[in-house]
A and B are shown apart, each in its own frame.
Chain A
């Protein structure tokens, strides 16, 4: 199974900060990578698919980039509602695998 390694596992940031989360795959996964946001007690929410395509309704401060094995989720200006845990997911092959998550906390 493809291993997805996210970093950092947690970070503290202030409103307005630029935040970057990375995800590294154990092998090349083309552009078959998405990002999900999860708030406590809630279901995950799709933010970005196919590395850089923004899901409908997701604010433009979220963006994704990368290729091959290294991918990045960027929040250009952190808002109060963005404090959550973020997961990457590869759907290049089965089993689909999530990263271990990055918890974004208030500084």
Chain B
């Protein structure tokens, strides 16, 4: 079964750090882009960032709101993708989802969207 399971959420004070993990199973992890998307309470979806696949040397992209504070890393040998969050702000409070990127091929000339999602993990930034 294709599955993504996030972990690592919790309560953290403003200025603090937290590391989220996403464990993948049921597919060839190294072939896929992996994205993080968040949703603040009662709000819409916000794309956070991306780790490209092995073909694209695991390069990353970030939303402006998190660039310089958040870092995405992955370990293809363990089928894990992490989101390291530093200098957290109250506005980072959200449910964080990891999602699998769906491309036309491993070189990803065409990105088709995020076709598998985890259940989400909740991050609360509050004093």
Q: Which residues of B contact A97 (CB under 8 A)?
A: 47
A77 interfacial by beta-carbon distance below 8 Å: no
Is the C-beta of B29 less than 8 angstroms from some C-beta in chain A? Answer: no
Kindly provide the distance from the CB of B32 to the nearest chain A CB, expressed in whole angstroms: 14
Taking a contact as CB atoms closer than 8 A, the residue among B44, B47, B97, B112 that contacts A43 in the complex is B97
Chain A residues within 8 Å of B117, by CB: 43-45
Residue among A1, A46, A101 making CB contact with B114, cutoff 8 Å: A46
- Chain A residues near B45: list those with CB within 8 A: 36, 38, 44, 87, 89, 98, 101
Answer yes or no: A100 CB below 8 A from chain B CBs. yes
- Interface size, A (range): 20 to 34
Complex contact B115–A55 (CB within 8 A): yes
Residues of B within 8 A of A36 (CB): 45, 113-114
Question: If A53-B112, A55-B115, A91-B111 touch, does A46 touch B102 (CB 8 Å cutoff)?
Answer: yes
Chain B hits for A91, CB < 8 A: 111, 113
B53 to chain A, nearest CB (A): 15
How far apart are the CA atoms of A10 and B35 in the complex, in Å? 27
Choice from A34, A46, A94 contacting B61 with Cβ under 8 Å: A94
Complex CA gap A46/B113 in Å reads 7
For B14, what are the chain A residues with a Cβ–Cβ distance below 8 Å? none
The answer to the question of B87 belonging to the interface, with a C-beta cut-off of 8 Å to chain A, is no
A48 to chain B, nearest CB (A): 8
In angstroms, Cα B45 to Cα A89, docked, is 9
Q: A36-B45, A87-B44 are in contact. Are A95 and B102 (CB under 8 A)?
A: no
Residues 35-58 (chain A) with a chain B CB within 8 angstroms? 36, 38, 43-46, 49-50, 53, 55
Given contacts A43-B118, A95-B64, whether A34 and B44 have CB atoms under 8 Å apart is no
- Cα distance, A99 to B120, chains bound together (Å): 20
Cβ-defined contact, A50 with B44, below 8 A: no
Assess the A100–B44 pair: CB atoms within 8 A. yes
A32-B111, A44-B45, A50-B110 known, 16 other contacts, Cβ within 8 Å:
A1-B64, A43-B97, A43-B120, A46-B113, A49-B112, A55-B113, A87-B45, A91-B111, A95-B47, A95-B62, A95-B63, A96-B35, A96-B47, A97-B47, A98-B44, A98-B45
